[in-house]
Amino acid sequence: MEQKQHIHCLVDTCHYWGEGNRCQAREIMVTSDSFGASQPDEVDARQAKTLDPTPADSCMETCCKTFVSKKGYTKVDGVRRMS
């Protein structure tokens, strides 16, 4: 299957990370750090359309909410890998 999105990510400890520093998640959700830290893993890309925007003033104040550690992987966010 052709990869439709091109998200480059250097976080190789994430379950969705792939060779060439390419994210292999079908969808991701980026939020402000404060929102990401306050929400459970279940809140992720599948709910993105229904959530309010979470402003940030710099890249240091944002995070990938879809990150899941390779070590502690649990399938709770509803996100799937490309392959």
Tell me which residues touch ligand SF4 (CB under 6 A): 7, 9, 11, 14, 16-17, 23, 25, 28, 64, 66-67
CA distances from 27 to 57, 58, 79 (A): 24, 22, 7
Between 6 and 49, CB nearer to ligand SF4: 6
Smallest distance, Å, CB 75 to ligand SF4? 14
* Closest separation in Å from C-beta 11 to ligand SF4: 4
Closest C-alpha to 4, from 29, 24, 33, 32: 24
Give start and end residues of each alpha helix (H) in the chain. Answer: 33-38
Minimum CB separation of residue 44 from ligand SF4 in Å reads 9
